[in-house]
Structure 1
């Protein structure tokens, strides 16, 4: 007779089953391939009970959801493992964003020593080829202006040239064709099957293009960023000396972006992360203050803002549409306040200008709410509380020893 199942860490497992290790790429038990095959095989007893994956759209994003039997232990186990991997992916994305911001900050500090005060007045329009919509004279310093220019250019190139539905070397048109075929697979099969097809297709494209083609693409994107920066700053007097270190660090960031994008398409249990394929606006505008002001006033000073990328992850891995608190806590990718006093604050954002959530939307998404999507345990099931992890808020342990408590000091007032 098998051991009774227990509910722990948001999933159903047997007592003898080893817990999922944080950071593991395959959050399944002893035989991942056999387990995955049983999850997607038509012979599975719960196959007919699952609905096929659907795609929802909102705020310019698309988040595929797998609507299945909420009591299916296989599906719950797979999704629980996904949350652990998603947490790691978000951590990597946050680290990458910080490095991009640091790169732009260091470059702006260097170039501001050579670039002077802009020639145009405060009433003048923004430079013709600038990726931001405000003139340089609206900034506290030339350094601030260069920083936002470079950050805008880099972010736009990342989302338009690297974070594509499939392999960036395939080109935009080819990616659109693969994405259309992928949507047909989603309509026809379970999402696990569709995502496995996507990962296989990505690997086939990667093998066909080769490392030399990828290196040439990254060199081309790097040169495009340099050209855009030179064009955007041509109205400022002074030289624009870009060192070899600038090109080397930029190429390293682009290579990291490629590897991160590949991991969310292939490595994370073949799960769909189409949410990262956010269509950028024609001009990435971090200085459009209305969205930033709403975000800042809605969540309070000192708090970090939830980006649309993060909100998409929350939707795509949610159980029956409920927000997953573990993912939501890690999805706070955004950053610092802008114009805090006279300090050099940074409004560093992954939020495109088109993303303009209302205060009501943000009020319902921050702070994270606990997950409530798991169904009640069936009769005869032993339930336990999830095991605490270092990331959870924990109170001091209770004193369970048999020794009596120490006596209060005598002669005092308390």
Structure 2
């Protein structure tokens, strides 16, 4: 039996595993995942050709606050790998640092299909039938399925595992989604000499981060934590800034629109037709290919591991898919959750790199206390 088993070994799961190991070196711990820690991240980043992270250089996966800066100096990453006032790291710098930081944890290369409660904790059962028992189970399952509006059930999504950006240069492509992913994807396709129309509900909006930066520190997080947990959903909604673009992406996409290199259509899509999109005002947009860049669903897909866990163990959720849990990120005794589901405890950045760091502090403190008590 493990003391800790982390189901999901992406960025969040691997970072929290490292944090627990540092805090409680005597604890037995493993990560259960059939992918490497950067696999899903790199696939999504490559799909839209991300070049710089949206977060600052203080939000990384190393143990110390200055770890990324020290790594950059050690490995001769020059000033071109830091962008703007917040010194946002390049994707190349972030991934190189993460590859070094997320090592040393025992990894079980398999995928959890089911979890169940036991007399002494929890059990994860894999697709191959293996059973792994643990006192504490951490679900770090990453984002939910790509979000598809009701009208777009059959459309491809940039975050589909088999997404391929290549297309006939003569094809007319509509990229639907006004946030950073949609803008980056439109720019990528245009750079490949494809005919692209960027479809958004609103005009492009500029914002440094996808949430109020105040929530990166105690100035907003402290009063958030003092607020009744039932009232925190409204604070999350007010703090988040979906559909916004950081300054560099905003400048590039608006320049491409002004030059006519990328077409732009503002409106609310209602139908996906054989040769294009239909809008709420009755107009149409001709397109041979439609690609969604609409982010991830707030709620887990029916039948997914997280959905079944919510149903079987009667976990309480708000309307946006956030799960009620205690300050130790515990939704049921011995069952902890990371990422966006933990937003009611960690704030609006729970699903970001900052959220991984906040979760690492919480579970590291818990592991240290448990280790001392033992």
Please report the TM-score for the alignment, with normalisation by the length of structure 1. 0.24
Based on CA coordinates, which of the two structures has the bigger radius of gyration? Answer: 1
Which is helix-richer, 1 or 2? Answer: 1
In proportion to residue count, which structure has more strand? 2
Normalised by the length of structure 2, the TM-score is 0.26
